[in-house]
Structure 1
Amino acid sequence: MSLPAVIAAAGILLAATLLHYAFWSWRLAVPPVEDELLSVPTRDGWTLGLGRCRPRVAARLPPVLLVHGIAMNRQAFEFGVERYALAAHLARAGFDCFSLDHRGHGASRRGPGAPRRWNLDTYLREDVPAALDAIRAVTGAEQVLWVGHSQGALMGLAACQRYPERVAGIVALGAPAHFDVQERLKKLVLLRFTVLGRFTRVAARMLAPLSGHWHPAWADLAINMRNVERPVYRRLLANGLENLEAGVLEQFAAFIREDSFRSMDGEVDYRAGLERCAQPALFVAAERDGLAPPAVVQAAYRRWGGPKRYVVFERDYGHTDLLLGRGAPEQVFPVVREFLLAHSRPAGLAAALEERG
């Protein structure tokens, strides 16, 4: 084949790829289920997205902060198919719900001079207090009830230690605070995905229309496709996935290599700190979870110092299935809701108590 023909073929392939990406990004796009999107500035120059879903019945306090997992965004909780939107489910129980986009995810935006690299410590030091302050500014509440999935659950366990006066209770969905039994994950992390991680979002959108026909074996670590409806999975790939940040990957690689849960500089051992936490906590595990198997979640549960409950969902539940599994709205969401109701109070009662005080 002549050089001009090769160039022409390459051009046609590139154009087809771009058209494929643009069409399916548009075709599968679904907006988050939310009432408003707040822009939250951090001290170091980022602006975070904070979706708000207002209470649909008599309001309860504290408000709820929902925090997504690695390489995801706030659509983990404000999913565009309302049946699977945990924030909307909790709003119908009276909670004022705020779903966070960490820096580099969803609606977050980098300002001039803001850091281009970050890790989990950055989330704790910058993003979490910014979100807590924003929620206090719009609701007047000093505390939140934290609902986190995966990495977001780990951030919540650490936030309970770092900001104990700001977190009233926590729901930890699939929290991998231990890394001693995930052999497949250990092998996978050797690849580090540092370069590939920069293209996670593009790759997810490119593969979205093919989902259900092909599912790589390693992806079973994060989701059990047999327990997720294909239209839901396609929309997750097209809307809910983000790039993997190198600094975050580096910190998780250290966790997995050492079987630890610590600050990157090694000065703070968050796993050891679980025993000093006093907040009520709900630890939720999934039987087929490859990232946070039940034994791992239960180990963190046993360490927790405050009032606690452990629940495991069996049968077909995997890691992300706790949010998007076929039966999650009827099986998982009510467990989360009832725990939060048990550790909240009517907003009117709270105002009355403050006046008396």
Structure 2
Amino acid sequence: MAVLHPDLRSMIGIPARFFSGSLRTPAQLKASVSDKPPTCTADELHYVSVHSSDWRLALWRYKPPLKAPKRNHPLLLLSGVGTNAVGFDLSPGSSFARYMSSQGFDTWIMEPRGAGLSTEGVRYPEVEESVKTISKQGLAIKHEKDGACSVKQSSHINSDALPEFEVSLTRDKGMVARFDKSRKTRLAETIMGLSERLSGLLNEGLLEGKQNSAISSQITDLSQKLINIIEEGQESVSPQFIDFTEWFTTRIEDFRKQLELIVKYNWDFDHYLEDDVPAVMDYIKARCKPKDGRLLAVGHSLGGILLYAMLSQNGSKGRDTGLAGVVTLGSSLDYTTSRSSLKLLLPLANPAQAFNVPIIPVGSLLAAVYPLASRPPYVLSWLNILISAENMMHPELFEKLVLNNFCTVPGKLLLQLTTAFQKGGLCDRSGTFFYKDHLYKTNVPVLALAGDQDRICPPDAVFETVKLMPKHLVTYKVFGEPRGPHYAHYDLVGSRLAAEQVYPFIIEFLTQHDMNNLP
């Protein structure tokens, strides 16, 4: 398994727990249901394997109390882009998930690939082995009695994989590096060989269409830059300022980190829609065994967009969605006519620009600017209202949300989401299927909620999607009053008034459709 180096995790704001573990046997997966880390505040933690990938998706489960009303369908919660399960369960007194389970619903939060406790198993073994071979130099330093020491290649490294070299260091003469031309050539061949093998895997189907050559070219350029650095270093590195061994291994490690990011963060919206969500739904149905084989679902932001896309995709093909009812919170398939702040993503519409930014460390960026938004002189205070309206969240919970709920996302995902701001609205990765065009074919009841001060998904954006659905199946409501309180993007999920004003409205809808269409 390609594992991010701890320093890199720290740099991009991804806790080590997000990338822990490897593929497990069915017995191990069963055991992991009750074996959860302290960061998971759910009753149970489950893992779901995703077909055609090595991702294991984390599912946080909240079991209903014994005295709660009996329900017929489990409830699936889907969160926004670049977020984990924390937003649905901030604290015992501010928990969307706990409230739903207290009302009798067996509640599950999905953490998609790259989010929260979801992990990736062993993948691309050929690349993995090559990266490890290069990055693990196996250099051992032997200190000698006369004050001299030698640095040699460790015996456990394959001599055919790495160039042989020896560095002698003495107190009187400083460092003398013997690294002849033939050995540099072998190092260059090793690095470029890794680059070619990785590029070959990409071209065999890891990415789609024109993206193959773009990413392959990026990897080749990266490899050549590393070789140039090493060659220049042999001519210019001064022993008074840098130890060659440390310098060399640092460059190799940087190279490995960048390759891992390019390979690991390689998914888009359609991966969530076609792989992650169906795998999770099948798992929940197998565990809960609803009589009609359906679930109820609530999606916030991107989560609601995924649910709309499911209704559209299945409706266009005349397939059953497996959903008894859907609630969307601040979601739309078409933002073209709204003044959404998400238009900040539009620069990513240029593919070349997107490929130059393979990942977007949303969590790190928000954590970095949070002090500027929450403390005098409040230079970036306008960022706060994108998340929650004034006085709608306790400051400590708001801080917990900002610092713990957001993750790193691939530029490829954001690139596809920018189509929601273009003519026709959100489309699939091929650019030929526009999700909003087939919403009228759905037969699933939908409750669409909006916040009056939601600057990410304004009410008019929500309505752009709602108006396309059969009128007898959709209910639309905007929360917020002219004189307050007001609701911003997250407030529908976890504000101080949500349990009083929003949750009961959702429960009424879910209860109605939990009882309908049973065999």
Band the TM-score falls in, shorter-chain normalisation: 0.7 to 0.9
Matched, 1:166 2:328: no
CA shift digits 1:1-54 (9 cap, x unpaired): xxxxxxxxxxxxx9xx99x999xxxxxx98344110100000121100011001
Correspondent of 1:277 among 442, 452, 462: 442
Q: Could you say which residue in structure 2 is the equivalent of 1:104?
A: 114
Matched, 1:299 2:461: no
Deviation at 1:128, TM superposition (A): 0.9
Matched, 1:37 2:45: yes
Task: Indicate the RMSD between aligned Cα atoms, in angstroms.
Answer: 2.9
CA shift digits 1:135-177 (9 cap, x unpaired): 0121112211110001100101112234534111100111122
Q: Could you say which residue in structure 2 is the equivalent of 1:321?
A: 491
Matched, 1:119 2:129: no
Q: Could you say which residue in structure 2 is the equivalent of 1:3?
A: none
Deviation at 1:80, TM superposition (A): 3.2
Partner AA of 1:153 in structure 2 = G
Distance 1:162 1:253 in 2: 19
Partner AA of 2:466 in structure 1 = Y
Distance 2:487 2:424 in 1: 24
Instruction: Report if aligned partners of 2:336, 2:425 keep a CA contact under 8 Å in 1.
Output: no
Q: How many residues align?
A: 326
Q: Could you say which residue in structure 1 is the equivalent of 2:61?
A: 52
Distance 1:251 1:226 in 2: 34
CA shift digits 1:261-299 (9 cap, x unpaired): 221212322101111111111010100111211112122
Partner AA of 1:130 in structure 2 = A
Matched, 1:237 2:363: no
CA distance 1:147–1:232, shift in 2 (3 Å)? same
Instruction: Report if aligned partners of 2:312, 2:437 keep a CA contact under 8 Å in 1.
Output: no
Deviation at 1:254, TM superposition (A): 2.1
Counterparts of 1:150-161 in structure 2, within 5 Å, are: 150-161=301-312
Instruction: Report if aligned partners of 1:64, 1:147 keep a CA contact under 8 Å in 2.
Output: yes
Distance 1:32 1:313 in 2: 30
Distance 1:216 1:197 in 2: 25
CA shift digits 1:302-333 (9 cap, x unpaired): 21125121111013201111112221111111
CA shift digits 1:55-77 (9 cap, x unpaired): 12143021111000111112222
Instruction: Report if aligned partners of 1:211, 1:230 keep a CA contact under 8 Å in 2.
Output: no
CA distance 1:155–1:311, shift in 2 (3 Å)? same
Distance 1:33 1:252 in 2: 30
Matched, 1:74 2:223: no
Distance 2:108 2:477 in 1: 24
Matched, 1:144 2:302: no
Correspondent of 2:283 among 119, 128, 134: 134
CA distance 1:133–1:206, shift in 2 (3 Å)? same
Identity of aligned residues (%): 26
Which one has the largest radius of gyration?
Answer: 2
Q: Could you say which residue in structure 1 is the equivalent of 2:386?
A: 221
CA distance 1:153–1:181, shift in 2 (3 Å)? same
CA shift digits 1:191-238 (9 cap, x unpaired): 439649532223334555666324443553343354222111111122
Partner AA of 1:143 in structure 2 = R
Distance 1:210 1:188 in 2: 19
Partner AA of 2:60 in structure 1 = G
CA distance 1:58–1:186, shift in 2 (3 Å)? closer
Partner AA of 1:96 in structure 2 = D
Instruction: Report if aligned partners of 2:71, 2:514 keep a CA contact under 8 Å in 1.
Output: yes
SS of the equivalent of 2:433 reads coil
TM-score by length of 2: 0.58
Q: Could you say which residue in structure 2 is the equivalent of 1:9?
A: none
SS of the equivalent of 1:153 reads helix
Gap regions ≥5 residues in structure 1: 1-13, 23-28
Gap regions ≥5 residues in structure 2: 1-6, 16-36, 125-205, 207-263, 315-319
Matched, 1:335 2:491: no
Instruction: Report if aligned partners of 1:208, 1:235 keep a CA contact under 8 Å in 2.
Output: no
